[in-house]
Amino acid sequence: MGECDTITALAGGVGAAKLIDGLSSVVPAEKLTVIVNTGDDCEFHGLRVSPDLDIVTYTLAGLVDEEKGWGIKNDTFNCLQMLEVYGHETWFKLGDRDLATHIHRTMMLRSGYKLSEVTRDICARLGVRQRIIPMTDEYFATKIRTDKGTMHFQEYLVKRGSLDVVREIVYEGAESAKPAPGVIESIMDAETVILCPSNPLVSIGTILAIRGVREALRESNAVKVAVSPIVGGAAVKGPADKMMSQLGIEPSALSVAKLYSDFLDAFVMDEVDAPLVQEVKGLGIRVAVTNTLMRTREDRIRLAKFVLEVASKCK
């Protein structure tokens, strides 16, 4: 792999994990740090579930269910079926092997370990050598205010199928949650910071809502490159486009670039969005256009290489 910059990636769930998987095959493990959204974290059946941390960790460990992009491949759901017999809500599909992760995490948290320590332990046990850091060790919950009431993001997304009209995103805990150890340092010390193609409001937006993160991105000498999760006005996955338009933000790659324009050096967007190039450049951001869809492992690696090339041209 030769000489390589130190890289810090800001990540949400499935889209981010694919790019990080691509990066992992071109960047030595010890050079890659991933800061992960924990706003989606939720308690189910008394257990702490950290979906985005698990998606990234399972992907790098080669355990992820590739079809769904989350959970463990070939998992079974016996425990969940029995919970249903006992009358519990089972809309969040936790597999038997996945449950072991949540039991282990919850036990460690109850023994007094921080989420960042638990994450390090899980990574070590699953053979993941990249550094994965939760954005915060403290309470933070993404809540969605809709006409049907305010609900946790997972309830909005999974239980109710993101059908409610979003009126406001509430970052509960943002005033008090401190960045986890290594978050600010890894942004300040990196040569390249990559904002993965994740929902700019509820995945990257939550990380940016943590005290000091946005300031660190502005101050860091790293080259900062984002990959658009919006292609041709639609989200590649999830409700980002719907959420943006319901909140009065046009769902476009340009809008994503605007959300990051105070610190971004370069923006990678899909070739279908080539007509927006001049407008993004008008924000004072370099633009590079490529096929950003990651259908195969080769696509992931190709996009990762492309992003690194764009970053190296910004130096």
Binding site residues, ligand FO1, CB under 6 A: 12-14, 40, 51-52, 54-55, 70-71, 92-94, 98, 154, 157-158
Minimum CB separation of residue 309 from ligand FO1 in Å reads 27
- Angstrom distances, CA of residue 210 to CA of 113, 138, 184, 204, 259: 21, 10, 10, 10, 15
Q: How far apart are CA 62 and CA 190, in angstroms?
A: 26
Identity of residue 273: D
139 vs 274, beta carbon nearer ligand FO1: 139
Minimum CB separation of residue 93 from ligand FO1 in Å reads 3
161 vs 212, beta carbon nearer ligand FO1: 161
* Residue whose Cβ sits closest to ligand FO1: 13
40 vs 270, beta carbon nearer ligand FO1: 40
Minimum CB separation of residue 7 from ligand FO1 in Å reads 21
Beta strands in the chain (DSSP E): 7-11, 32-36, 42-44, 47-49, 131-134, 141-146, 149-152, 166-172, 192-195, 223-227, 230-231, 234-235, 266-270, 286-290
**Residue 174 phi, psi (nearest 5):** -60, -30
Minimum CB separation of residue 119 from ligand FO1 in Å reads 13
153 vs 306, beta carbon nearer ligand FO1: 153
Minimum CB separation of residue 126 from ligand FO1 in Å reads 14
Minimum CB separation of residue 299 from ligand FO1 in Å reads 20
Q: How far apart are CA 166 and CA 107, in angstroms?
A: 35
CA angle 196, 56, 270 (to 5 degrees): 25
25: helix, coil or strand? coil
77 vs 113, beta carbon nearer ligand FO1: 77
92 vs 113, beta carbon nearer ligand FO1: 92
3-state helix, strand, coil in the chain (%, to 5): 40, 20, 40
99 vs 301, beta carbon nearer ligand FO1: 99
Q: How far apart are CA 143 and CA 153, in angstroms?
A: 5
Minimum CB separation of residue 105 from ligand FO1 in Å reads 11
CA 149 from centroid of its chain's CA atoms: 25
- Which burial class, exposed, middle or buried, applies to 170 when counting CB atoms under 10 A from its CB (0-12, 13-18, 19+)? middle
